[in-house]
Structure 1
Amino acid sequence: MVAVKSPLTEAAQKTVGDALQNSLIDLIDLALVAKQAHWNLTGRNFKVVHEHLDEVVDLARQYQDEVAERAIAIGVNPDGRARTVADRTVLPQLEAGYLADDKVVAAITDTLGQIIERFRERVEVTDEPDKITQDLFIEIVAALEKQHWMFQVQIAG
């Protein structure tokens, strides 16, 4: 077995590794929540919301891979196993069964808002120990905030 030597100090590796692992869990569960909504969506805005949910799934899957690969690059093993995600996720879960489009839009807007808040905290936490990971988190926040905006404007106000 070959271990990857970290370019970071032990303390920095721990801080950044924890931020990356928690990000991985958020992104994996975001993809699962969005896909669950995608499959069970109903309502007059079905097509638009259905397709928009796939954008969120694609974004989450893209960045979960980048986050996991960054973890490996700093010598931390990412854990994206189903049990780990189920045990550690903090995302609100959707109800089972058919889901009305307006409720899905509200739920996804809220979920994205929560994830963005945590990613913004991770941007701060990684400022000192690892600017490379911080840069990745900044990129993810920008993508998530765009999706959040696009869902948020669909809420009738």
Structure 2
Amino acid sequence: MATKRQPTLHPTKHPLSENTRGAMVELLQTHLATALDLTYQTKQAHWNVKGMNFIAVHKLFDELHETAEEYVDSIAERLTALGGQAKGTVQAASENSILEPYPLDLVDSEAHLRRLSDSYAVWSKALMAAISEASEAGDDLTEDLITEVGRGIDEALYFLESHFQVVKTD
């Protein structure tokens, strides 16, 4: 089994050890790619949604896209502050995202809502694991950033799922 190689880091006076910074850069790189992917999955839905509730869902997708873009910037800036090189191209995102590719033929608003909720749920679970990883590494600031992103992703998941969740009463 090949050993995972730490990324080359730019020189910095950052107080975290080089090993910790390297591990956090790798962690953040995965989440940068995922944030970029989610940003464009959400925009894909925004551009192509159709249905009776079009305007509300269209606006929701645009708001979720803007919020995800903020996460992209925050994650990339933390990654570079640790001495890493942010890999923020569409190609890098497609190679490193944890998300399944978004179907390009979706139109129906409920189909978009359900599919985006799948992506948001996958990232939410990965963010929870990343919080633990950053905590164990002793990187409180990365842990805090990922916690903030996780809160936002969980809220977005709630907004998406609320369109199709129905409580059954007896």
Band the TM-score falls in, shorter-chain normalisation: over 0.9
2:6 is matched with which residue?
none
TM-score, normalization by structure 1: 0.93
Normalised by the size of structure 2, how large is the TM-score? 0.86
Partner SS state of residue 127, structure 1: helix
d(CA) in 2 for partners of 1:4, 1:59: 30
Residue type of the alignment partner of 1:59: T
Per the alignment, residue 116 of structure 1 pairs with 124
Mapped to 1, the partners of 2:120 and 2:16 lie a distance apart of 30
Amino acid at match of 2:53: N
Task: Report which structure shows greater RCO (CA 8 Å, sep ≥6).
Answer: 1
How far did 1:11 drift? 1.7
**Matched pairs, number:** 156
How far apart are 1:8 and its partner, in Å? 1.4
Change in CA separation of 1:156 and 1:138 when aligned onto 2, cut-off 3 Å: closer
Q: What root-mean-square deviation, in Å, do the aligned CA atoms of Structure 1 and Structure 2 show?
A: 1.4
Matched, 1:54 2:76: no
Give the letter for the 1:89 counterpart.
Answer: S
Q: Quick one: which of 142, 162, 165 aligns to 1:133?
A: 142
How big is the shift at 1:98? 4.9
Aligned-residue sequence identity (percent) comes to 25
Spell out structure 1 runs of 4+ moving beyond 6 A.
none
The amino acid of 2:148's aligned partner reads: E
- One-letter code of the match for 2:162? V
Task: Report the AA paired with residue 69 of structure 1.
Answer: E
1:156 CA drift (Å)? 4.5
2:160 pairs, out of 135, 151, 155, with 151
Q: C-alpha separation between the residues in 1 aligned to 2:53 and 2:102?
A: 18
Unaligned stretches of 5+ residues in structure 2: 1-9
Measure, in 1, the Cα distance between the counterparts of 2:134 and 2:104. Answer: 37
- State the match for 2:76 in structure 1: 68
